[in-house]
Amino acid sequence: MKKHIPNLITLGNLFCGTIATIFAVHGAFGLAAFFVVLGIFLDFFDGFAARLLNVSGELGKQLDSLADMVTSGVVPGIVMMNLLTDKNGLNYFGEETTATYFKDLDIELFPFFGLLLTLGACYRLAKFNIDTRQTDSFIGLPTPAMSLFVIALPLIKMNTEIELVYTVLNNRYFLIAITLLLTFLMNAELPLFSLKFKEYSIKNNLIKYLFLVVSLAMIIFLQYLSIPLIVTLYIVLSVISNFNKKKVV
């Protein structure tokens, strides 16, 4: 029975991703974000459970990627698609429940660029399954990090009082640039550190501790705005870490 426990947790991730997809389609971004975060938590916990129970296997690996494809692939693509919709119509405050790109069958093609995130996530997850290098670290931006970045954008827009931030998030070309950049980063040959700890000394884990402390401070003071900044910090610190390793070698 214990060999099925991690897979059941993985299916919980898929369940959360499916619910998040429904909410994202209808523009309920707060609820979509909640279920994405819950799904990502289960995604982390299924691996922990598999290691704890010593029941890791190929089925779990494949199932994990299939669940991630929904939670961290389909959902952010739909969210970005909504953000790219030229709306007087789609209301971020829950006053309207149907996305305008299907309204009266007057389909606008521009927002479908957002689905590049879904395609990029699919390609990354397929590569991850056959890449033996990504055991203790990542190569390319993990799909959950991309998903958190994207689902935070409408929440920032809903809650920000900073006019510049609101204006930038209303700019379609900025959103297209973000879409292209995230799609590239997911599949780039860019080593990124993992938050797994083999041991807990400050000397050997300085960059991880720095990341966690700064991230916590940003969450406290910046709230939703902190999420894309944390993902950006993660990438920047990884680049610095890579540079320092090359200097040592």
Residues 140-156: tens digit of each pLDDT: 999 999 999 999 999 99
139 φ/ψ angles, rounded to the nearest 5 degrees: -120, 110
Question: What total of structural domains would you count in the chain?
Answer: 1
Do the beta carbons of residue 219 and residue 197 sit within 8 Å?
no
Query: What is the extent of the structural domain holding 41?
Result: 2-134+163-188
Strand partners, 193: 137
Q: How far apart are CA 54 and CA 60, in angstroms?
A: 12
The neighbouring-strand residues paired with 137 are 193
Residue 33, domain CATH: 1.20.120
What is the pTM (predicted TM-score) of this model?
A: 0.88
The model's pLDDT over 5-39, given as tens digits with 9 standing for 90+, comes to 888 999 999 999 999 999 999 999 999 999 999 99
**pLDDT tens across 116-131, in order?**
999 999 999 999 888 8
* Dist. CA 219–CA 234, nearest whole Å: 14
Question: Within a domain: residue 93?
Answer: yes
Torsion over CA of 214, 120, 91 and 162, rounded to 10 degrees?
A: 30
pLDDT digits (tens, 9 = 90+) for 182-235: 999 999 999 998 887 777 788 888 889 999 999 999 999 999 999 999 999 999
